[in-house]
Structure 1
Amino acid sequence: MTCKLEQRVLRKITWRIVPFIMLLYFIAFLDRVNIGFAALTMNDDLGFSPTVFGLGAGIFFLGYFLFEVPSNLILHKVGARIWIARVMITWGLVSGAMAFVQGTTSFYTLRFLLGVAEAGFFPGIILYLSYWFPAQRRAQVTAIFMAAAPISTALGSPISAALLEMNGLMGFRGWQWMFVLEALPAVVFGVVVLFWLTDKPEKAKWLDDEERNWLMATLAAEQSRKQATAQHSVLKGLLDPRVLALALVYFGTSAGLYTLGIWSPQIIKTLGISSMTVGLLNAVPAVIAVMAMVVWARHSDRTNERPWHVIGACLLAACGLLFAGSATTVVTVILALTIVNCGISASKPPLWSMPTLFLSGPAAAAGIATINSIGNLGGFVGPFMIGVIKEHSGSYTWGLWFVAGLLVLSSLTVLLLSSMNKKAAAAASATHV
Structure 2
Amino acid sequence: MAATLVLPVEKDGMDGSINHVEDGKIEAEAEFDVAAAAAEKKLVRKIDMRIMPATALIYLLCYLDRSNIGNAKILNSSTKDDLLSSINMTTYEYTVALMVFLVAYSLFEAPSNLAMKIFSPPRWLGFLVFAFGALCAGIAGSRSVATITVLRFFLGAAEAGVFPGMIFYLSFWYRPHERATRIAGFLCSATLAGAFGGAIAYGVGHMNLVGGLEAWRWLFIIEGAPSIICGIFIFFFLPQYPETVTWLNAEEKLLQESRMGANCSKGEEKLNWADAKATLKDLRLWVHYVTYMALGVGVSSLSLFSPTIVAGLGYVDLQAQLFTVPPYACAYVVTFAVAMYSDYKKTRGLIAGICFSIGAISFIIQAVLAEDAYKARYAFLVLSTCGVFGGLPPLCAWVSDNVRSTTAGSLASGLNIAFTGPGQIIGVWIYRAKDKPAYRLGHAINAGFLVLGGVLSFGLHIYYRRLNNKMVGNNTHKWTT
TM-score normalized with structure 2 length: 0.83
Q: Which residue pairs with 1:112 in the alignment?
A: 153
Q: Which residue pairs with 1:228 in the alignment?
A: none
Structure 2 counterparts to residues 274-285 of structure 1, below 5 A: 274-285=316-327
CA separation of 1:328 and 1:237: change in aligned 2, threshold 3 A: farther
**Which range moves more in the overlay, 46-55 or 193-202?**
46-55
Alignment: residue pair count: 425
Aligned CA-pair RMSD: 2.3
Separation in structure 1 between the aligned mates of residue 155 and residue 122 of structure 2, nearest angstrom: 20
Say whether the 8 Å CA contact 2:294–2:452 is kept in structure 1.
Answer: yes
Q: Which residue pairs with 1:376 in the alignment?
A: 421
Say whether the 8 Å CA contact 1:385–1:399 is kept in structure 2.
Answer: yes
Letter paired with 1:411? G
| Mapped pair 1:402 → 2:436 | no
**Which range moves more in the overlay, 127-136 or 54-63?**
54-63
Q: Which residue pairs with 1:363 in the alignment?
A: 408
Q: Which residue pairs with 1:219 in the alignment?
A: 260
Relative contact order, CA 8 A, sep 6+: which one is greater? 1
**Which range moves more in the overlay, 421-430 or 376-385?**
421-430
Separation in structure 1 between the aligned mates of residue 264 and residue 300 of structure 2, nearest angstrom: 35
Separation in structure 1 between the aligned mates of residue 323 and residue 287 of structure 2, nearest angstrom: 35
Q: Which residue pairs with 1:124 in the alignment?
A: 165
CA separation of 1:414 and 1:106: change in aligned 2, threshold 3 A: same
User: For 1:274-326, what per-residue CA distance to the aligned partner results, in whole angstroms no more than 9, with x for missing partners?
Assistant: 43322221111111111111211222122222111011101111122223333
SS at 1:377's partner residue?
helix
Q: Which residue pairs with 1:414 in the alignment?
A: 457
Say whether the 8 Å CA contact 1:64–1:116 is kept in structure 2.
Answer: yes
| Mapped pair 1:354 → 2:395 | no
Separation in structure 2 between the aligned mates of residue 205 and residue 95 of structure 1, nearest angstrom: 35
Q: Report the CA distance between 1:75 and its aligned residue.
A: 0.4
Separation in structure 2 between the aligned mates of residue 371 and residue 168 of structure 1, nearest angstrom: 43
Q: Which residue pairs with 1:322 in the alignment?
A: 364
Compare CA radii of gyration and give the structure with the larger one.
2
Identify which of 161, 173, 189 aligns with 1:148: 189
Extract unaligned runs of 5+ from structure 2.
Answer: 1-34, 75-81, 266-272, 476-481
Separation in structure 2 between the aligned mates of residue 50 and residue 246 of structure 1, nearest angstrom: 34
Letter paired with 1:408? V
Letter paired with 2:189? A
Identify which of 39, 42, 58 aligns with 2:73: 39
Separation in structure 1 between the aligned mates of residue 261 and residue 105 of structure 2, nearest angstrom: 32
SS at 1:376's partner residue?
helix
Q: Which residue pairs with 1:268 in the alignment?
A: 310
User: For 1:384-405, what per-residue CA distance to the aligned partner results, in whole angstroms no more than 9, with x for missing partners?
Assistant: 2323xx3377751111211111
CA separation of 1:298 and 1:216: change in aligned 2, threshold 3 A: same
Point out the structure with the larger helix share: 1
Q: Which residue pairs with 2:268 in the alignment?
A: none
Q: Which residue pairs with 2:130 in the alignment?
A: 89
SS at 1:203's partner residue?
coil
Letter paired with 2:124? W
Q: Report the CA distance between 1:424 and its aligned residue.
A: 4.2
Letter paired with 1:35? I
Letter paired with 2:205? L
User: For 1:326-374, what per-residue CA distance to the aligned partner results, in whole angstroms no more than 9, with x for missing partners?
Assistant: 3645432331221011111210111112112222211110111001011
Say whether the 8 Å CA contact 1:311–1:411 is kept in structure 2.
Answer: yes
Letter paired with 2:67? V
Say whether the 8 Å CA contact 1:232–1:363 is kept in structure 2.
Answer: no
Q: Which residue pairs with 1:333 in the alignment?
A: 377
Q: Report the CA distance between 1:175 and its aligned residue.
A: 0.6
Separation in structure 1 between the aligned mates of residue 56 and residue 173 of structure 2, nearest angstrom: 15
User: For 1:117-143, what per-residue CA distance to the aligned partner results, in whole angstroms no more than 9, with x for missing partners?
Assistant: 112110000001110011121111111
Letter paired with 1:18? M
Say whether the 8 Å CA contact 1:249–1:375 is kept in structure 2.
Answer: no
Letter paired with 2:155? L
Say whether the 8 Å CA contact 2:348–2:461 is kept in structure 1.
Answer: no
Q: Which residue pairs with 2:329 in the alignment?
A: 287
Letter paired with 1:343? G
CA separation of 1:334 and 1:19: change in aligned 2, threshold 3 A: farther
SS at 2:172's partner residue?
helix
Q: Report the CA distance between 1:423 and its aligned residue.
A: 4.2
TM-score normalized with structure 1 length: 0.92
User: For 1:130-185, what per-residue CA distance to the aligned partner results, in whole angstroms no more than 9, with x for missing partners?
Assistant: 10011121111111221111011112211022213211111111111111111111
Separation in structure 1 between the aligned mates of residue 438 and residue 72 of structure 2, nearest angstrom: 20
| Mapped pair 1:13 → 2:55 | no
Separation in structure 2 between the aligned mates of residue 329 and residue 26 of structure 1, nearest angstrom: 33
Letter paired with 1:292? V
Q: Which residue pairs with 2:297 in the alignment?
A: 255
Extract unaligned runs of 5+ from structure 1.
Answer: 225-230
Separation in structure 2 between the aligned mates of residue 191 and residue 39 of structure 1, nearest angstrom: 30
